[in-house]
C-alpha cells in the first residue's frame, strides 16, 4: 500500500514524518497523470501545487481553518488529501467536480471558479469568525499570480492590509502563468521578486560573516543595518506589499515542502495578515506538461500518459471559425483591434495576435478593465473586438451598460462557450449572456447557427460603429452548415411546410437552429404545419420576425439561454407591443444552477432535445 492510500484526511497527513513526504508527492503526481489521462481535466496547475498543498494541510487545520482556492482548478491535490480518491468520473455526471464543491466535502469553501475572488471571501470569513468570537481559527487564501491581475483582488488587499490583527494568510502561487504567461506590471514585479534576495538575508549574511571580529564586525553590521532602507529599495521589491501593510515572506521554493511549511508556520503565528510568496512550476513532474508553452496542459482532454498525446482529436470547433475570420478581417481593416482577459488561445485570438501583435491587448484577468478600455479605443477611432467566455461577461456588466452602451461605443463582444458547457459546472455555463444583453439599450446580439454565419455575422458586427454588438457561439465542434431555403427580410427561413398556412412559427436561436429544423420535421410528420426560422440577429427582435408571427397560429422559441429574460421573453414582449395575441411557447434553460455533466446530459435533463421539445409542442398544438 502506498502512502496516498492511507490518507483519509488532514490528520493522517500530519502524522507522517518529513521523510515520507517526497514519496507522497511523487505518488500524488503519478495518480494525477494516470487519472486525468482517462477523464481529462486541469492537470498542469495541479502538478505544480503538490508540495504547497501538502504543507497547507500540515500547518493549518481544515475545516476549522478555512482554505480558499483561487481559482478552484488547482484543488485536485486538496481533494486527494481530504479523502477523495475516486477520480474515475472527474467532471462527469455523478463524479467529482473539477472545482471545490461544498456538497462533496466540508473542506471545500468556495465553489465559484471565477478568478480574483478568494481574497474577498477570505477577508469576509476571517472578519466574520472574529466577530463571532471564534479565536484560533485561521483563514488562508491561495491565489495564483494570474488571478492577482484582477482588480477585485486589489480591492480586497486594500481592506485586508488595513486590519493589522486579522488572522489571514495570503499564499501567492507564482508559476508565471494563468492560462498563458501572466502579463503586466504585477507580473514584472513578481518576476523581480523571484530573482532578488531579500535585504534581511543580506543583513544576516553580513552579521554571520563579520561576527568573527566583534568590534569591526559589529560596527559594520550597525552600518549595514543603518543602510537598511537604501538596501531594501535596491534588493527588496517586496516593499510594495509591505508598504501596503502586509507582512511579506518569500520568495519560497514551492517544491521544497519543508521550506513552504516553515514559511506557513511563521505566517500562522504572526497574528496579522501575511503574504507568502511561493514559486512553483506548472506541470511539475510530467515533462509534456512542464514543457508546455501554449498551455494545452492547463486543461487537457483524455491522453496517453506514456506519450502525452491526446486520444481524442477534435474536429473543427466554433472558435476556429472566429479565429480564422479575425485574421482575414485584420488584413483588410487596420482599425480592428482585439482584447482578451488572459485567455488569448482559448478564445481564438492567437492567430490574430501572431499576425498583428501590436493590435492585441491581453489585460489579464480583468474583464471590467477590458470593456472600458475597449470603449476608450472606440472613442479613439478603432473598432475593438473583446473576446471572452460567455460566463465572464457577467463580471463586466456595469462597464458594458454604462461605459460602452451609454456612450454608443462601437465595440464587438465575441462570447465563446455560450449556453450549456457541461463538465465545468455551474460557474462556467454561459447561460446568462442573452438575458444580461437584453436589458442594454441599443445593443444588438447575433447567435450564429453555423461556422459560415460566424464569419458573416462577425463582419456585420464590426461594421456597426454606434453601439455595442455581441456574437455568441457554443463550445465544441461546429458541425455542418444549416442552409436557408429563403429569406424573409433579415430572417432566414430554414424549413417551411406550406407558404399558405403556418400552425407554428418555430424560432431556433443560434446553434439550436438545426434542432429547430429537426423539431419541425417531427411535428410535420404528425400533421402539423411548421415554419422554422433563424432570426440571425436575435436582439432586438426584428420587425421581420414579428411579421412572420402575424401569419402563425402559435410561436415557439428554442434557445440555449435562460428562459427568464432571454430571446423568448423578448419575442413575447415584441409581439404584445405589436398587438398580436398569439401564444408563445418558451423552451430554454430553467433559472437554476446546473450540476456538472456532459453538455448532452445537461440538455436532456432540462428538456432541450429535439424529441423533448417536439413532444411538448405537439401536446400544445392539439
Average pLDDT over every residue of 581-593: 95
Do 540 and 523 contact (CB within 8 A), yes or no? Answer: no
For residue 233, the model assigns a pLDDT of 42
47-56, 202-211, 397-406, 513-522: least confident range:
202-211
Write down the pLDDT at residue 202: 43
Q: Show the cell assigned to 31.
A: 495518480
Cα separation of 508 and 519, whole Å?
10
Instruction: Report d(CA 348, CA 48) in Å as an integer.
Output: 26
Per-residue pLDDT for 297 more than 80? Answer: no
Give pTM, 2 decimals: 0.84
Domain boundaries in the chain? 4-196+237-290, 318-472, 487-621
Q: Where are the extended beta strands (E) located within 63-138?
A: 66-70
- Are 585 and 555 spatial neighbours (Cβ–Cβ below 8 Å)? yes
Q: How far apart are CA 508 and CA 169, in angstroms?
A: 50
Contact between 547 and 575 under an 8 Å Cβ cutoff? The reply is no
Q: What is the mean pLDDT of residues 350-369?
A: 95
- Run of H or E residues at 323: helix 318-332
Whether 4-196+237-290 shares its CATH topology with 487-621 is answered yes
Contact 375, 409 (CB under 8 A): yes
Is 116 a known ligand-binding residue? no
Residue 223: is its pLDDT beyond 90? no
R_g of the chain computed on alpha carbons:
28
Looking at residue 403, what DSSP letter applies? Answer: I
Query: How many of the other CB atoms lie within 10 Å of CB of 581?
Result: 6
- CATH class, 318-472 region: alpha beta
Confidence (pLDDT) at 295: 65
175 is in an annotated binding site: yes
Mean pLDDT in residue range 127-152: 90
| C-beta of residue 549 within 8 angstroms of C-beta of residue 555 | yes
3-state helix, strand, coil in the chain (%, to 5): 45, 15, 40
CB 424 within 8 A of CB 91: yes
**37 vs 404, higher pLDDT:** 404
- Domain 4-196+237-290 of CATH type 3.40.50.970: yes
What does the pLDDT read at residue 122?
94
For 10, 50, 51, 285, the CA distances from 28, given in Å and listed in that order, are: 15, 7, 10, 10
pLDDT tens track for 141-153: 999 877 888 888 8
Cα 189 to chain centroid distance, Å, stands at 24
The sheet with strand 584-589 has its strands ordered as 486-488, 491-496, 530-534, 504-508, 555-562, 584-589
Residue 97 is labelled as binding a ligand: no
Q: Is 27 annotated as a binding residue?
A: no
Distance CA 333, CA 310 (A): 37
Checking if the pLDDT of 543 tops 60, the result is yes
Q: For the segment 371-430, what is each residue's pLDDT rounded down to a tens digit? A: 999 999 999 999 999 999 999 999 999 999 999 999 999 999 999 999 998 888 788 888
CA gap 474, 448 in Å, rounded: 10
Say which residue the cell 478552484 belongs to: 72
Cα separation of 337 and 616, whole Å? 45
At residue 308, the pLDDT reads 72
**Does the pLDDT of residue 273 top 60, yes or no?**
yes
The predicted pLDDT at position 391 comes to: 92
Distance CA 429, CA 560 (A): 10
Mean pLDDT of the residues in the chain: 88
Mean pLDDT for 437-461 is 97
pLDDT at 363 over 70: yes
The residue among 275 and 429 whose pLDDT is bigger is 275
Per-residue pLDDT reduced to its tens digit, 229-241: 444 444 444 566 7
Distance from C-alpha of 361 to C-alpha of 383, rounded to nearest angstrom: 13
Q: In the prediction, which pLDDT does 426 show?
A: 82
Tell me which residues are annotated as active site.
Answer: 282, 367, 395
Grid cell 508546455 is found at 292
What per-residue confidence (pLDDT) applies to 422? 80
Triad 531, 537, 541: Cα angle to 5°: 75
- Tell me: is residue 145 an annotated ligand-binding position: yes
Give me the residue label for grid cell 490574430: 352
- Judge whether 146 is annotated as a binding position: yes
CATH 3.40.50.920 fits 487-621, yes or no: yes
Amino acid at each position: 500500500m502506498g502512502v496516498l492510500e492511507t490518507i483519509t484526511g488532514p490528520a493522517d497527513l500530519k502524522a507522517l514524518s518529513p521523510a515520507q513526504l517526497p514519496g507522497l508527492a511523487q505518488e500524488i503526481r503519478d495518480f494525477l497523470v494516470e487519472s486525468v489521462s482517462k477523464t481529462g481535466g486541469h492537470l498542469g496547475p495541479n502538478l505544480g501545487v503538490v508540495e504547497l498543498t501538502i504543507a497547507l494541510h500540515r500547518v493549518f487545520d481544515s475545516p476549522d481553518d478555512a482554505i480558499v482556492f483561487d481559482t478552484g482548478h488547482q484543488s485536485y491535490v486538496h481533494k486527494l488529501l481530504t479523502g477523495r480518491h475516486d477520480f474515475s468520473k472527474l467532471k462527469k455526471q455523478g463524479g467529482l467536480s473539477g472545482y471545490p464543491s461544498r456538497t462533496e466535502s466540508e473542506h471545500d469553501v468556495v465553489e465559484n471558479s471565477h478568478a480574483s475572488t478568494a481574497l474577498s471571501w477570505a477577508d469576509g470569513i476571517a472578519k466574520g469568525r472574529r466577530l463571532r468570537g471564534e479565536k484560533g481559527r485561521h483563514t488562508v487564501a491561495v491565489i495564483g499570480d494570474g488571478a492577482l491581475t484582477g482588480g477585485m483582488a486589489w480591492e480586497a488587499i486594500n481592506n485586508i492590509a488595513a486590519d493589522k490583527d486579522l488572522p489571514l494568510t495570503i499564499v501567492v502561487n507564482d508559476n508565471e502563468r494563468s492560462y498563458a504567461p501572466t502579463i503586466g506590471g504585477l507580473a514584472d514585479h513578481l518576476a523581480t521578486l523571484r530573482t532578488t534576495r531579500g535585504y534581511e538575508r543580506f543583513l544576516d549574511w553580513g552579521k554571520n560573516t563579520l561576527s568573527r571580529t566583534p568590534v569591526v564586525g559589529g560596527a559594520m553590521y550597525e552600518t549595514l543595518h543603518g543602510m537598511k532602507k537604501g538596501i531594501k529599495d535596491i534588493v527588496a521589491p517586496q516593499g510594495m506589499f509591505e508598504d501596503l501593510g502586509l507582512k511579506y515572506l518569500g520568495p519560497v521554493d514551492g517544491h521544497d515542502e519543508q521550506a513552504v511549511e516553515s514559511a506557513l508556520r511563521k505566517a500562522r503565528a504572526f497574528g496579522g495578515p501575511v503574504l507568502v510568496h511561493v514559486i512553483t512550476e506548472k506541470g511539475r513532474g510530467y515533462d509534456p506538461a512542464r514543457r508546455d508553452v501554449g498551455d494545452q496542459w492547463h486543461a487537457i482532454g483524455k491522453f496517453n500518459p506514456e506519450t502525452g498525446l491526446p486520444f481524442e482529436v477534435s474536429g473543427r470547433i466554433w472558435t476556429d471559425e472566429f479565429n480564422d475570420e479575425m485574421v482575414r478581417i485584420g488584413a483588410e481593416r487596420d482599425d480592428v483591434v482585439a482584447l482578451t482577459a488572459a485567455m488569448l488561445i482559448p478564445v481564438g485570438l492567437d492567430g490574430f495576435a501572431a499576425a498583428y501583435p501590436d493590435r492585441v491587448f491581453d489585460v489579464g484577468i480583468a474583464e471590467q478593465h477590458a470593456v472600458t478600455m475597449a470603449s476608450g479605443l472606440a472613442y479613439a477611432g478603432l473598432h475593438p473586438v473583446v473576446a471572452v467566455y460567455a460566463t465572464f461577461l457577467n463580471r463586466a456588466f456595469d462597464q458594458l451598460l454604462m461605459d460602452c452602451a451609454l456612450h454608443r461605443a462601437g465595440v464587438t463582444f465575441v462570447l465563446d462557450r455560450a449556453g450549456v458547457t457541461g463538465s465545468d459546472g455551474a460557474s462556467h455555463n454561459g447561460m446568462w449572456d442573452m438575458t444580461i444583453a437584453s436589458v442594454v439599450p441599443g445593443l444588438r446580439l447575433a447567435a450564429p447557427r453555423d461556422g459560415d454565419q460566424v464569419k458573416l455575422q462577425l463582419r456585420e458586427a464590426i461594421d456597426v460603429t454606434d453601439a455595442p454588438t455581441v456574437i455568441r457561439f457554443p463550445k465544441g465542434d461546429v458541425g455542418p452548415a444549416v442552409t436557408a431555403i429563403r429569406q424573409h427580410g433579415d430572417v432566414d427561413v430554414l424549413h417551411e411546410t406550406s407558404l399558405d398556412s403556418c400552425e407554428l412559427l418555430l424560432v431556433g436561436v443560434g446553434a439550436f437552429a438545426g434542432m429547430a429544423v429537426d423539431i419541425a420535421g417531427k411535428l410535420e410528420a404528425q400533421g402539423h404545419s411548421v415554419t422554422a426560422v433563424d432570426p440571425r440577429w436575435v436582439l432586438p427582435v426584428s420587425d421581420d420576425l414579428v411579421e412572420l408571427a402575424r401569419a402563425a397560429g402559435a410561436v415557439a422559441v428554442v434557445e440555449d439561454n435562460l428562459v427568464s429574460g432571454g430571446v423568448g421573453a423578448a419575442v413575447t414582449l415584441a409581439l404584445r407591443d405589436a398587438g398580436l395575441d398569439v401564444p408563445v411557447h418558451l423552451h430554454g434553460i430553467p433559472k437554476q444552477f446546473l450540476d456538472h455533466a456532459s453538455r448532452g446530459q445537461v440538455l436532456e435533463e432540462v428538456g432541450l432535445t429535439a424529441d423533448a421539445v417536439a413532444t411538448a409542442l405537439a401536446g400544445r398544438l392539439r
